[in-house]
Amino acid sequence: MEGYVFGGLAYLIGSRQDVIEGMDLWAVPLGFVNSAFVVRPEKDLVEVIGIVSANGYFWALALTLIFKFVHSRLRRNRVTELAISGSSVEQEDDGL
């Protein structure tokens, strides 16, 4: 998120070097794997949109995996009660 904000501010009020440094944040995490995924001024708009979209997918995937891990740890010691009808198990046992 900060890559978009700092990149936009650098584009509006900064120099060319500031814009290039701001664009490096848009390439995280795929830019670490391959230098072809680094956003540069000579790239076409379609390539930039593809790089930013792919990076957004990997950020969402990482956050989803972290959420699932934390959620599984929080629910590990809980007992889940499944009830098909509206009455509880204790009320049904009293009627017999």
pLDDT of residue 41: 78
For 12-46, the DSSP string reads HHS-HHHHHHHHHGGGTTHHHH-GGGS--TTS-HH
pLDDT of residue 27: 76
For 76-89, the DSSP string reads TTPPP---SSSS-H
- Tens digits of residue pLDDT in 42-67: 888 898 888 888 888 988 999 999 99
- Tens digits of residue pLDDT in 13-24: 777 777 777 667
pLDDT of residue 64: 96
pLDDT of residue 96: 52
pLDDT of residue 68: 94
Per mean pLDDT, which of 54-58, 64-68, 76-80, 92-96 is the most reliable?
Answer: 64-68
CA dihedral 72, 77, 82, 86 (to 10 degrees): -110
